[in-house]
Amino acid sequence: MRRIHIPLGVCLALSLSLSLSAQQTASSSPQALALLQKSLAALTGDQSITDITLSGSVRRIAGSDDESGTGVLKAIAGAGRMDLTLSSGQRSEVQNLSATTPAGSWSGPDRVAHPMAFHNLLTEPAWFFPAFAIARRLSNSGYVATYIGHETRNGQAVEHLSISHTSPSTTSSKGLSFEHLSQVDFFLDSTTLLPAAITFNIHPDNNALLDLPVEIRFSDYRPVNGAQVPHHVQKFLNNSLILDFQADSVTLNSGLAAANFTVEAGL
């Protein structure tokens, strides 16, 4: 697959350089920001978390393929990596938004790296660890958070928030809305404010206008050095389960850096 070049990279760089007070505080709902701050506090406790590594068992479903194995998920704020060892071989995916130019890549058992389209790098690289997803949106400029309301989702009472990244130029010549491409919705448990799910869209490499809904569900929260970490993470695409991960061990602050998330051929 070829990388699709969309004239939004400059917009991303410019909007990321804007101040938090100028963009987020002025435009975001105070209720949404308060809920996000409380959720982050519930997730991290008094911990300062710089990186996380989750290791455990995994099940991957892709069409008629249904296989199990082991997985290692790693993240820092702005970058995430998934390495799976399955019966068919190894599969990897890495996204790094902390570099000058956002980049991502995936590989299958043949270990050939395939670049991810730019429009699929605008949501959340650390999708399996909600603390980083929230912290990045609270600390970075340009994000606008909206409180949608109290809902019931998957039988659970939740508070629904929607967050998008603004841009000096909101729509490209191809009709692509930067806010829409970067939108992530958070569903916080109404009692604990721990994230129960997040949703966002991915798109075919050659068609950023076609939305493919993704839902990440979090459960089995357990304390790890004062933080609350979801040990059960499920990923759905078009309402079908495609990944089911159960963590056996969690390591915080092991010294991972951006170099551990380098996107290169062969991964």
Write the CATH number for 207: 2.50.20.10
**3 domain-assigned:** no
Ramachandran angles phi, psi of 30, nearest 5°: -55, -35
The answer to whether 241 and 229 are in contact (CB under 8 A) is: no
| Residue pointed to by tokens 């982050």 | 40
Letter string b/e over residues 6-38, b meaning 16 or more CB atoms within 10 A of that residue's CB: bebeebbeebeebeeeebbeeebbeebbebbee
**187 domain-assigned:** yes
Cβ neighbours of residue 63 under 8 Å, at least 6 residues apart?
none
65: which strand partners?
62
Domain of 54?
A: 9-261
**267 domain-assigned:** no
pTM for the structure as a whole: 0.86
Q: State the amino acid at position 232 in one-letter form.
A: H
Q: pLDDT at position 171, please?
A: 47
Cα 206 from Cα 209, distance rounded (Å):
9
Q: pLDDT at position 18, please?
A: 33
**156 domain-assigned:** yes
**39 domain-assigned:** yes
Number of domains in the chain: 1
**266 domain-assigned:** no
Question: What's the average pLDDT block by block, 10 residues per block, for the chain (267 residues)?
Answer: 35 34 60 97 94 98 95 95 96 88 91 93 96 94 93 97 78 65 97 98 94 98 97 98 98 92 66
**64 domain-assigned:** yes
**184 domain-assigned:** yes
The answer to whether 251 and 235 are in contact (CB under 8 A) is: no
